[in-house]
Amino acid sequence: MKMRTVYGLMILLGCMVFLAGTAQARTWKISHVRPQGTAIDEDLRWFSTNLKEVSGGKLKTKVYPASALGDYTVVQERVSLGAVDMACQPPSSAADKRFQLPYFPYMIKNWDHARKNYSAGAPMRETVAGLYKEQGIHLLAVWPVYFGGISLNTKPVNPGDPDAAKGIKLRVPPMKTFQMMADNIGYLGTPIPFSDAFTAVQTGVVDGVIGSGAEGYYSSFRDVTKYYIPANTHFEVWYLIMNQNTYDNLSEEKKQALDKTAAEFENRRWATAEADQKANEQKLVDYGATIVDFSDEDVTKTADKIRKVVWPEILNDVGVEWGQSVLNRLVK
């Protein structure tokens, strides 16, 4: 009986050692929404390679492009549960309405203003990190993407006049912020999941898309983009996130390697993001699209109306007191 007990303990100990070794050797999955070879894909592959090097091979990751692990709304939930280890993507307001706040239209004025509010320690960055933490998600870094615009498969109608009814149906992300923005600048907003958006434009269900920018339209909609309106609708930021428990259970050495690589991943993007936006606008032109003139005056008129009409409604949706307190902390 004693010998049997000893053997049992030896087997149990062996299993524990094996499982511990397997956990240490496990390769983390990183999800993102763009096709292979795009800017985010290349940056995440840089992150993956450098993380392995900095950690001495102890932290390994594999990049899954083009929503291979699921739509970003689903992936956020899976990161929260630990079913997906990491992702770099937009936040989902389906999980928490307050995630609409980082997408407030015409909240961020220019690239300098963006960096002041989304860099490490900045007000909006800290707000978003707090929202993620409530879902069991750790925010590692931001990846600034672009200022948004409108992609059309049909000729634009009075694009610079927010009061003009345009009779053009636009796909909007399933988020009240974008729905209200489209409706209040003269378009007919139709909520459609990202995975179905291209087909919706291609088949004429809608005439265009709002909620992305030149990078997104070139990556995923260039075959149905005949006109691009650089209306600066919103500032798009994606977040490099991971499961909070996974992060908390890392050794200090591994946390340092991860944090260092994430910070470099972010800083590299801030250095190239503005030029990348211009390059993607040119790619659309080279592919046959027309860039529609949208002057500073047009931006001002549109922004004034959106702030007056849309902002109060979204603040009601996310909680006026909480939302206004976040807006009040924005760096000017």
* Chain segment 156-174, per-residue pLDDT in tens: 999 999 999 999 999 999 8
Q: Which residues pair with 191 in a beta bridge?
A: 172
Q: For residue range 179-208, what is the model confidence (pLDDT) as tens digits?
A: 999 999 999 999 998 889 999 999 999 999
pLDDT band at 8 (very low <50, low <70, confident <90, very high): very low
If one compares 275 and 9, the residue with the highest pLDDT of the two is 275
**C-alpha–C-alpha distance, residues 189 and 173, integer Å:** 9
Going by pLDDT thresholds of 50, 70 and 90, the confidence category of residue 94 is confident
d(CA 74, CA 115): 28
Cα torsion angle, 115, 255, 44, 100, sign: negative
Whole-structure pTM value: 0.88
Looking at 137-296, which runs of residues are DSSP E strands? 137-147, 149-152, 169-172, 188-191, 208-212, 227-229, 235-243, 290-291
Rounded Cα gap, residues 234 and 114, in angstroms = 11
Check: CB of residue 171 under 8 Å from CB of residue 210. Answer: yes
In this structure, of 14-18, 117-121, 257-261, 296-300, the range with the lowest mean pLDDT score is: 14-18
pLDDT at 103: 86
Could you list the beta-strand ranges (E) of 148-212: 149-152, 169-172, 188-191, 208-212
